[in-house]
Amino acid sequence: MKTAQEMKANSVMLIDGQPWMVQKAEFTKSGRNSAIVKMKLKNLLSGSTTETVFKADDKVEPVILEKVAVTYSYSMDTTYVFMDDNFNQYELNADDIESVLPYIVDGMTDICEAVFFEGKVISVDLPTTIVRQITYTEGSARGDTSGKVMKPAKLSNGTEVKVADFCEIDDWIEIDTRTGEYKCRAKAPA
Amino acid sequence: MPSNPTTINIPPRWDIFCCVVDNFGDIGICWRLARQLANEYSLAIRLWVDKPEAFLAICPSVTFLNEQAQFENVAIHTWPEHWPQTTAEQTADVVIEAFGCDLPATYLKAMSEREQAPLWLNLEYLSAEDWVESCHLLPSPQTNGLKKTFFFPGFTDKTGGLLREENLIEQRRRFQSKGGAKQQFLASLGVHQTNQAVLVSLFTYPNTALPLWLDELANGTQRCHLLIPQGLISQAVAKYLAQQKLNVGERYQKGQLCIQAIPFISQQEYDQLLWSCELNLVRGEDSFVRAQWAGQPMLWHIYPQAEAAHLIKLEAFLSHYTRTMTAENAAQYRSISMAWNSAEAPPHKGWLEFLLSATNRAHASNWCTDLSQQKNLAESLWRFYRNWL
């Protein structure tokens, strides 16, 4: 058993004997209210989705899934194709990779993990830290160098990320894929 | 010959579980809810409370016999430390765990053994934050096969609303319009309002900046009669006055400020106190909600949290409460509220005048009227239950 707050995007749990994948998990703790985790879940058998909420310390039954290392290959409409070392291709619908979609860019070389349930690929996990290039951001308004003042920036796929005020267009940055937050500036990938 | 069939209407059974964390807010809310559900919706309500002494403090006339009591059509039970074995038939049709308290394991097991699963609700604390709307009424499947539903009170139609008895506003109007009702009530508390003194109730959490606010009242231009129900705050005020304690009924004068401690009063009397005062300083959830139904100016002292986490919740309320104020008035109200909740001195000399101003009085009245158009919490619960059937 795990607690609800340990379940992250792409985790799978059994509810009434059915496997449900966490597509999105939002933790909230407010005042005296119970700490809760609101989840968007997808039934891996029927494809139906639902929203639920758990107390953060509620017990849930996780499902361990098989994983295979893959890299992103290409996309067609809403289908995203990944390939393993043996050149096997795995197709995923955009809905299946909703949480990683903001970080999918053409030419990315990150080693990802394709996730399988009963032999069928159901999603992809990204590394915890990825490096992406800023394609647009405003200039530094205040000349801040502390990294505490943030501003919006866009990646090549249009995803918006809050970055340190000193970041500029064409800079490479590290992003935490668990939170979507900017970590620091980075070197361009080799 | 078969006898004529007789229909016996057995009221649905609802169990409300209340774990008292501190003070009287949690049990106060649960008691109000239990009473309203029993009396307005004819439900068979059992209220389980782990600290019956907290219940007795707000309903001192009740006598517990064998760990249970019957009062105002509600069965009040002591929630035993070791819950006995329970059969499915002994569980209720609707089970409310108030404020995320954990139900007894044996009771939970019995719930899962029912032929038809009960409606299981987690009634949460009140918050004006946006996320509440998106979590209200969401299911929460549990590993025992039961499904719990999160139920959030709130200030919008997309939430469960606020606790408000069906005739509360009318009761208040009658009280406020009936000649002599206010004076008679105040006299019963030993309070005689002097000419030109505004009546203010003070029921808040300990606040290290309280002396600064009281000094402002003492040194101001407006005469002020401050009424203090028994509790922690009366000790703080006694310290401010360099007294061992505040004697109930005795009046303490300091400049323009007259301070008077009043006895511990019932929920109904507290409502009347709020209706009688020109300004109510309230706290937590229960008195906070009741002050809004009073339709009088008020200032909320939110339950303080570590790392000032409560200020987010306060901000959320303020953004709702000040939405229809002018920008200037909203800024004033916000600055006073933030200072009061941050243990800071009053933000400016005119804070009392602003709170008592005709504009702010009208705002408080309009806010109450607008809120009272929404479904109340008990009604929302009952409707949800009817739809679930």
Q: Coil, strand or helix: which one is A160?
A: strand
State the amino acid at position A149 in one-letter form: V
A38 touches chain B (CB under 8 A): yes
Domains A2-62 and A66-125 share a fold: no
pLDDT at residue B2 is higher than 60: no
B159 touches chain A (CB under 8 A): no
Domain A129-186 has CATH 1.10.10.10: no
**Residues in contact with A150: Cβ distance below 8 Å, sequence separation at least 6, in sequence order:** A162, A163, A164, A165, A182
Tell me the CATH number for domain A2-62: 2.30.30.30
- With beta carbons less than 8 A apart as the criterion, state whether B32 and B168 touch: no
pLDDT digits (tens, 9 = 90+) for B166-191: 999 999 999 999 889 999 999 999 99
Q: Give the distance from residue B305's alpha carbon to the nearest chain A alpha carbon, in angstroms.
A: 7
Sorted by where each begins, the domain ranges of chain A are 2-62, 66-125, 129-186
Q: Give the distance from residue B180's alpha carbon to the nearest chain A alpha carbon, in angstroms.
A: 40
Give every strand in the sheet of B139-141, ordered side by side.
B68-71, B74-78, B44-49, B13-18, B94-98, B119-123, B147-151, B139-141
Query: How wide is the angle at C-alpha B26 spanned by C-alphas B22 and B30, nearest 5°?
Result: 150
pLDDT at residue B86 is higher than 90: yes
A62: nearest CA partner in chain B? B143
The residue ranking higher by pLDDT, A123 or B12, is B12
Please give the interface size between A and B, counted as residue pairs whose CB atoms are below 8 Å apart.
Answer: 62
**What is the predicted ipTM?**
0.82
- With beta carbons less than 8 A apart as the criterion, state whether B29 and B374 touch: no
B123: nearest CA partner in chain A? A33
Alpha-carbon distance of A29 to A14, in angstroms, equals 25
Phi, psi of B57, deg, nearest 5: -65, -35
The residue ranking higher by pLDDT, B279 or B310, is B279
CA distances from B274 to A11, B57, B91, B357 (A): 51, 19, 38, 17
Q: Give the distance from residue B170's alpha carbon to the nearest chain A alpha carbon, in angstroms.
A: 32
Give the residue numbers of B annotated as catalytic, written as ranges: 26, 285
- With beta carbons less than 8 A apart as the criterion, state whether B24 and B58 touch: yes
Residue from A26, A41, A53 to probe the interface with B (highest B Cβ count within 10 Å): A53
Query: How wide is the angle at C-alpha B70 spanned by C-alphas B68 and B73, nearest 5°?
Result: 145
Single pTM value for the model: 0.79
User: Which of the 8 DSSP states describes residue B114?
Assistant: S
B100 vs A contacts (CB less than 8 Å): 33-34, 55
What fold, for A66-125?
A: OB fold (Dihydrolipoamide Acetyltransferase, E2P) (2.40.50)
pLDDT in tens, chain A (190 residues): 899 999 988 788 999 878 898 989 999 887 778 889 999 998 876 778 999 999 999 999 999 888 999 999 999 999 999 999 999 999 999 988 888 999 999 999 999 999 888 788 988 989 999 999 999 999 877 667 777 789 999 999 999 999 999 999 999 999 999 889 999 999 988 7
Could you say which of B135, B145, B313 has the minimum Cβ distance to residue A16? B145
Tell me the three-class secondary structure of B21-59, residue by residue: CCCCHHHHHHHHHHHHHHHHHCCEEEEEECCHHHHHHHC
pLDDT at residue B309 is higher than 50: yes
Could you say which of A15, A33, A38 has the minimum Cβ distance to residue B141? A15
